Amino acid sequence: MKKSDKDHSHFKGIQVAPSMEPTLSTIYLPEDKNVYNFRSVQISIISIFLGIAGGIVAQLLTRLIGLITNFTFYGKFSLDFSSPANNQLGFWVILIPIAGAIIVGFMAKYGSAGIRGHGIPEAMEQVLLNESRIQPRLTFLKPISAAISIGTGGPFGAEGPIIATGGALGSLIGQLLKTTADERKTLLAAGAAAGMAATFGSPISAILLSVELLLFEFSPQSLIPVALASAAATAVRIFFVGTSPMFALNNVSQPGSVALVIYLLMGIVIGVCSVFVTKAVYFVEDSFDKLPIHWMWWPAIGAIAVGVIGYFSPHTMGVGYDNIDRILNGSILGKTLIILFILKFISWAISLGSGTSGGTLAPLFTIGGGLGSTLGSVILMLFPNSGVDVRIAALVGMAAMFAGSARALLMSIIFAFETTLQPYGLLPLLAGCSTAYLISSLMMKHTIMTEKISRRGVKVPSEYEADFLSQVSVKECATTKVYTLNAEDIISTVRQWLLSGNDGSLHHGYPVIDKNGHLIGVLTRKDLEDENKDVNKKIKELIKNPMIAIYEDNTVREAADMMALYKVSRLPVISREDHYKLLGLISRDDILKTRRKHIEQENLYKKYISFASINKKGKREP
């Protein structure tokens, strides 16, 4: 038994001769990964076709919604996308949303309960818990149920179901093909991004939505396919509807310093409102959970509120994109606007809380836009020279409401820009959305997207940062003074040494070196103490399996992955130039020490300890 301490650059290891011991025929090492490979190209090509399919699905779904809307509210067959607001049904209008909700309830009960809700939380849950596997039937049931719900007056946008359908389509393709869980996640996110891009013509914000709410990462392998899918879906949209922005916002001037401060303060108010909106939706959902009837009837009960409110305020029904357009161009103001966005909120919260099939984006944009426009009007009345533009205030309100309730900051800012193509809105958006996001984060633990699944025990990532262990090389933390065993030693001799208690004899694993100083394998204490082995044999005869090793320039993350994959607690560190030259040993303790040092450097160690402190009564100490 010996302790090697000969210096080899960054490590102290054992100098070996170029010959090779026959005992060691195979070494398992981390694969040198290339970020871009042929597989990445395949997934990217699939994503382009997925984007085209998502764009077509978006057109089909909007036309299906138009068909159902025209038939139920106007008694005609037309695929034109129309609003229920101009119907002449009078009191009978109340029955239409109820009839649609009954159908959706039956579809959820006998088709798939997965059609309930607005789709994104359910997709998030499948990404986190089910390796991005969504039931194939949802690819058809979700858009049909959503078309019925929205077409019969449901106060939802078409984008939510289209995003969910695109995600389900991506998951289905991933299941039909031989893909890994990460590849399925990428395809799911690509399909969802395609759905949003095809609806609004907003490819960049669609990518950001996928990153912030579905991918939970920012890597080229996932980002490129999602980007290609978004571009392809946007091209399909351009083919059908042209290049005009979704919401026109013209003749806007550059805001001044005072106006920017006001938009920032508006973000605080809207951030508080976004928390209220989120909690209200889940309060309604909790209230429905207490009803003594089966959940398939809940959408019909919620639809009563939709119908009654729709009777008094017809513009609250349907997708409401025309409402957003009118709010942003300033054609609806004052009392009419206040009534609209308040009633829209009530109708949407009750209907969504009832578990019907619908979305959240357009309603939140309507509520936030109306609130922002109202605040802007009040500020102009009090401070006429503030430089505030009511239309920009509406734009800030629209984006800040989604940034606060969904915690998708970048997506909200870029979405508002892409759908208006108004560059003078970017600074106000940055100010208002950031403060809304901050206030929401301080006041609310979960978001409108994550509250439901967090109640089921699902942990949703909220911060994306580079893995520290992927930034540290093995040579920076490996043990350089290694106790080794001689391959020619007799088992009985080694066992006596293990029982001696001498320096190094209490370790759990030892590299084995041959007579030429070559590394030929690793033996654990369990291997050496096996009573079934002949104690008169040499220890090299105990080496039966290929050696599992790590290069000195590999990352600590790769070392940890190798340990997990092969169920070992230590790895010999070797040189790329000479695979049989031992440079050191890295163990689980070395990895934990590295991580602990990083925590201490960030002054987080005491914080973690305080959170983990529990008193004798089982309660956490402050």
Q: Which domains does the chain have, with CATH numbers?
A: 2-30+471-599 (3.10.580.10), 38-241 (1.10.3080.10), 257-454 (1.10.3080.10)
CB atoms within 10 A of CB 290: 6
**What stretches in the chain show pLDDT beneath 50?**
2-23, 605-606, 608-610, 613, 622
The C-alpha R_g of the chain, in whole angstroms, comes to: 31
Cα–Cα distance for residue pair 4/162, rounded to 1 Å? 64
Residue 203 is predicted with a pLDDT of 93
Conformational region of residue 376, where left means phi above 0, alpha means psi within -120 to 50, and beta covers everything else:
alpha
Is residue 574 within 8 A of residue 495, CB to CB? The reply is no
In terms of Cα–Cα distance, which of 403, 406, 405 is closest to 414? Answer: 403
Residue 22 is predicted with a pLDDT of 40
Distance in angstroms between the alpha carbons of the first and the last residue of the chain:
51
Residue with tokens 């809207």: 270
Half-sphere exposure of 224 (CA within 13 A, CB side): 15
User: Judging by DSSP bridges, how do beta strands 11-13 and 519-524 pair with one another?
Assistant: unpaired
Q: Partners of 473 in the beta sheet?
A: 555
**Is residue 503 packed enough to be buried (19+ CB in 10 Å), middle (13-18) or exposed (0-12)?**
exposed
SS3 357: strand
**DSSP tag of 292:** S
Host H or E run for residue 12: strand 11-13
Cβ neighbors of 173 (< 8 A, separation 6 or more) are 46, 50, 187, 191
SS3 546: coil
Residue 248 is predicted with a pLDDT of 82
Cα–Cα distance for residue pair 277/266, rounded to 1 Å? 16
User: Judging by DSSP bridges, how do beta strands 519-524 and 509-513 pair with one another?
Assistant: antiparallel
Residue with tokens 């916002």: 249
- Two tokens, residue 547: 């050696």
Cα–Cα distance for residue pair 13/586, rounded to 1 Å? 13
Residue 171 is predicted with a pLDDT of 87
Phi, psi of 235 (to 5 degrees): -60, -40
- Two tokens, residue 89: 């049904």
- Two tokens, residue 198: 């095809």
**DSSP tag of 253:** P
Cα–Cα distance for residue pair 199/203, rounded to 1 Å? 10
Cβ neighbors of 386 (< 8 A, separation 6 or more) are 258, 259, 262, 379, 380
Cβ neighbors of 384 (< 8 A, separation 6 or more) are none
- Two tokens, residue 368: 């936030």
Cα–Cα distance for residue pair 388/381, rounded to 1 Å? 10
Helices marked H in 461-604? 491-500, 525-528, 556-566, 588-601
- Two tokens, residue 223: 């980002």
Cα–Cα distance for residue pair 192/474, rounded to 1 Å? 39
Q: List pLDDT tens digits, range 67-107.
A: 999 999 988 888 887 888 888 888 899 999 999 989 988 88
**DSSP tag of 425:** G
Cα–Cα distance for residue pair 349/520, rounded to 1 Å? 67
Residue 229 is predicted with a pLDDT of 95
CB atoms within 10 A of CB 241: 14
Is residue 118 within 8 A of residue 67, CB to CB? The reply is no
Residue 594 is predicted with a pLDDT of 83
User: Judging by DSSP bridges, how do beta strands 550-551 and 570-574 pair with one another?
Assistant: parallel
Cα–Cα distance for residue pair 466/456, rounded to 1 Å? 28
Is residue 246 within 8 A of residue 415, CB to CB? The reply is no
Residue 497 is predicted with a pLDDT of 84
Half-sphere exposure of 164 (CA within 13 A, CB side): 37
User: Judging by DSSP bridges, how do beta strands 570-574 and 482-486 pair with one another?
Assistant: unpaired
This prediction has a pTM of: 0.79
Cα–Cα distance for residue pair 295/354, rounded to 1 Å? 8
Q: List pLDDT tens digits, range 291-348.
A: 889 888 988 999 999 999 999 999 888 888 888 989 998 888 888 999 998 999 999 9
Cα–Cα distance for residue pair 533/198, rounded to 1 Å? 68
- Two tokens, residue 412: 């909200």
In terms of Cα–Cα distance, which of 162, 217, 147 is closest to 193? Answer: 162
Cα–Cα distance for residue pair 172/133, rounded to 1 Å? 7
Q: Where are the beta strands (DSSP E) in 514-615?
A: 519-524, 547-548, 550-551, 570-574, 582-587
Is residue 543 within 8 A of residue 483, CB to CB? The reply is no
Helices marked H in 113-219? 120-129, 138-151, 159-176, 181-200, 203-210
Residue 366 is predicted with a pLDDT of 92
Residue with tokens 């401060």: 261
Half-sphere exposure of 67 (CA within 13 A, CB side): 11
